[in-house]
Amino acid sequence: MLDIKLLRSQPEQVQARLNSRGKSHDISKLVELEQEIRVLETQRSHLQAESNDIGKQVGFKMKSGAPNDEIQVLKARSHEVKQLLASLEPQEKALREESHLILMTLPNLPSETTPIGKDEKENVEVRRWGDEYKTTRTDILPHWDIGEKLGLLNFERAVKISQARFVTLIGAGAALERALIQFMLNIHTANGYIEVAPPLLVNTDSMTGTGQLPKFADDLFKCADDDLWLIPTAEVPVTNLYRDEILDGESLPIHHCAYTPCFRREAGSYGRDTRGLIRLHQFNKVELVKFVLPEKSSEEHEQLVRDAESILQALKLPYRVVKLCTGDIGFGAAKCYDLEVWLPAANAYREISSCSNFHDFQARRANIRFKSKGKKGTEFLHTINGSGLAVGRTMTAILENYQQPDGRILIPEVLQPLMNKQYL
């Protein structure tokens, strides 16, 4: 959620930064509402001051034995002022609710270090890693073909059980996914992330706090009879661990990691990646979430990116890091890096992790603050998160990059002890 004080004081700058996202986010109605609210606030303040003053005058006149008619005039005015105050309250409440509803639909302001651009074509490549591990073979089978051929993946039976865009992992396929999850968690906890096993069903307040609601309701799965939603990412429950709390500034930063299944309708991606593991309704992911001091935000974000990269490097999977432009960053992100892994069958890089710095956007929505030692007030902290990694997409990369001429899959060396074998 945007800082309403910033919007009030610098509406032109806010509008310009929102416009850089390349979509229409007109804040004129919001500015108008805030002006009306300020007028009512001023009226209420003056009336309350007058009411307090009248109360003092009445008390003084009664003690001094002033004529009763003078006292009655003051009391009549006091009654009139209280009625005016009472009439302002519902007006102000209605305006604030309307303002809040608009505010909750506005995306975050892009960081000044986020490149200006219209869409993904204007994203900026930052670096590449692992070109020496790219295969020169031209006969690499797509992961869904080799996976079904080896009996690791079964899409047909998953459709029978559920519907399209689900998969069943069988035998060594299930074992590979389990090994990847364990490996990722081992690395991240060794790097200081505290593991969390959160609920997979969360309430509306939690979805609103991280920015999935109200805007992205169509992309989510909701329980019809309860105020519960299936999580689209562990970012939601882990971030909301501290919703409506004031943390001790000395306790920051807090670093968490979590493995969870994730559930997405993918309503906005109809027809894309209909085959394979890239875009499923249910998938597994290891998420990294940070709660940090604002002044440490940028360096903590860069480190989270490196932590996600470390998994790809350990697995020796070629990838590149891309800085997203203003027209491609997510709703709540101020700045975002995508890690894109190399898929030889597609001869292309595909996203395997998005690492976003939200600044205080989520903290304002979820009301997560901190208090520094020696300071009177509280401040909103910054939240940062990213996949560390999407497990299905990591499996995809392994099935293609580690494909052998004889049709087997060489298991990455770091996973072999977890699987007690060398090949799939």
Active site residues per annotation: 264, 279, 351, 354, 393
Decide: residue 200, CB within 10 A, 0-12 exposed, 13-18 middle, 19+ buried.
Answer: middle
Residue that has been written with the tokens 């309307």 in this structure: 98
Q: Which two tokens stand for residue 133?
A: 């591990």
CA atoms of 340 and 355, how far apart (whole Å): 11
Decide: residue 343, CB within 10 A, 0-12 exposed, 13-18 middle, 19+ buried.
Answer: buried
Q: Per-residue b/e over 37-75, b at no fewer than 16 CB within 10 Å?
A: beebeeebeebeebbeebeebbeeeeeeeeeeeeeeebe
CA atoms of 390 and 264, how far apart (whole Å): 13
Residue that has been written with the tokens 């690395």 in this structure: 187
Cβ(57)–Cβ(12) below 8 Å:
no
